[in-house]
């Protein structure tokens, strides 16, 4: 069976054909209709444009698996919010019904993008035999999911949600002075306000303002002054061990390390903490090293002292493909007798 798989993010809408035998076809992409690109357009119109783009991507009488970058009810397909797409807007949007109305000939299967990425990771050989896997995406937005590999269950709460860590409260200091940044959802001092992709240039600007000459002479500052794009400039500066670039990354990873530390403390059955998304995979080992440096300084009470490698050996930076995961979810739903790719169970 060949499926159309779509990945909807804050930056791009991507789609292609996928099958277990042939894998992914040629991936096409268009810019996502989002509030950051079209600030004067209503959220309702942005949603209409997005549904139209998704509907146009699927052949007649097709089956579509969708990886959608939003907080959504996994039981119904209702989207509660997507800060990267719609900013502070939080009116529920029945995405599944909107897609089915636009293309009633298509069978739609919609999951959150982190869930889709986790489904791909959970299907790989290296994930077999593990008890629980936590996958966190560090990209335009931030969220995580945990799956119990023994049962295939992803627990959800009474709203069908799990792991919206990007909107947990967080704090960051630079030179001992708190940093006050707002999340794309409109609220101040969330994890995503400091750690998501758009936050890193904002933190860099604060460093520039507070450090003056030291910033201007740093490799990161020099590259940015020459007009280089932020992401490659930061990666090159980290490769060259630029001190201010390292300090910037330490500030950005601190809230994520807080979440990872707490997760491992509360659930020792988590055998793997995988970090994915453009920020984490783009910076690779630099990102992992910064996160582990936080955990090395402030780790798990007693465990980090008696077994220093317990947390370290669980943390990896990993590519996880939401397009493949969306295909796995749709295939399981379409194939009679196939085990579900994931079971969403409401926690008691």
206-217 pLDDT, tens digit each: 999 999 999 999
207-244 pLDDT, tens digit each: 999 999 999 999 999 999 999 999 999 999 999 999 99
Residue with token string 């491992």: 264
Residues 6+ apart with CB under 8 A from 77: 94, 95, 96, 97, 108, 110
Q: What's residue 10's pLDDT? A: 84
130-159 pLDDT, tens digit each: 999 999 999 988 999 999 999 999 999 999
Structural domain total, the chain: 2
Q: Which domain holds residue 247?
A: 164-268+278-317
Distances, alpha carbon 36 to alpha carbons 33, 90, 163, 201, 209, in Å: 9, 16, 24, 15, 25
Evaluate whether residue 105 is within a structural domain.
yes
Is residue 88 scored above 90 in pLDDT?
no
Q: Which of 102, 288, 116, 254 is nearest to 178 (CA)?
A: 254
Q: What's residue 56's pLDDT? A: 95
Is residue 89 scored above 80 in pLDDT?
yes
H or E, element range at 70: none
Same domain, yes or no: 184 and 287: yes
Q: What's residue 348's pLDDT? A: 58
Evaluate whether residue 202 is within a structural domain.
yes
Residue with token string 């397009």: 323
Q: What angle do CA 178, 279, 27 make, to 5 degrees?
A: 150
**Exposed/middle/buried for residue 222 (C-beta within 10 Å: 0-12, 13-18, 19+):** middle
Angle between helices 230-239 and 199-211 (to 10 degrees): 60
As a 3-state breakdown, the chain gives helix, strand, coil percent values, each rounded to 5, of: 40, 25, 35
Evaluate whether residue 234 is within a structural domain.
yes
Looking up residue 67, the CATH number of its domain turns out to be 3.30.420.40
Evaluate whether residue 88 is within a structural domain.
yes
Contact 307, 167 (CB under 8 A): no
Q: What angle do CA 97, 74, 282 make, to 5 degrees?
A: 110
Is residue 201 scored above 90 in pLDDT?
yes
Distance CA 275, CA 265 (A): 18
Boundary (domain end) residue, out of 111, 127, 148: 111
């Amino acid at each position: 069976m060949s499926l159309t798989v779509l990945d909807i993010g804050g930056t791009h809408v991507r789609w292609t054909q996928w099958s277990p035998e042939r894998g992914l076809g040629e991936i096409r992409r268009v810019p996502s209709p989002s509030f950051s690109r079209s600030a004067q357009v209503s959220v309702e119109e942005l949603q209409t444009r997005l549904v139209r783009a998704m509907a146009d991507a699927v052949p007649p009488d097709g089956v579509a698996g969708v990886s959608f970058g939003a907080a959504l009810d996994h039981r119904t397909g209702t989207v509660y919010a997507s800060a990267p797409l719609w900013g502070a807007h939080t009116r529920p949007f029945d995405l599944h019904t909107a897609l089915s109305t636009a293309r009633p000939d298509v069978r739609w299967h919609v999951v959150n993008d982190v869930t889709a990425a986790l489904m791909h990771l959970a299907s790989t050989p290296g994930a077999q035999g593990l008890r629980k896997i936590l996958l966190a995406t560090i990209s335009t937005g931030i969220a995580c999911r945990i799956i119990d590999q023994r049962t295939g269950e992803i627990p959800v709460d009474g709203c069908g949600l799990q792991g919206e860590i990007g909107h947990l409260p967080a704090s960051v200091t630079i030179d001992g002075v708190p940093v006050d940044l707002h999340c794309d959802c409109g609220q101040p001092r969330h994890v995503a306000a400091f750690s998501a992709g758009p936050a890193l240039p904002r933190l860099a600007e604060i460093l520039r303002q507070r450090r003056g000459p030291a910033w201007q002479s740093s490799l990161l500052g020099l590259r940015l002054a020459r007009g280089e794009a932020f992401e490659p400039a930061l990666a090159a500066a980290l490769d060259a061990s630029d001190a201010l670039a390292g300090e910037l990354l330490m500030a950005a990873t601190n809230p994520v390390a807080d979440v990872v530390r707490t997760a491992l403390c509360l659930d020792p059955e988590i055998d793997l903490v995988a970090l994915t998304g453009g920020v984490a995979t783009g910076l690779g080992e630099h990102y992992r090293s910064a996160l582990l440096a936080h955990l090395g300084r402030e780790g798990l009470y007693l465990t980090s002292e008696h077994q220093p490698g317990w947390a370290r050996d669980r943390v990896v930076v990993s590519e996880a493909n939401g397009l493949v995961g969306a295909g796995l979810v749709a295939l399981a739903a379409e194939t009679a007798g196939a085990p579900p790719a994931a079971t969403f169970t409401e926690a008691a």
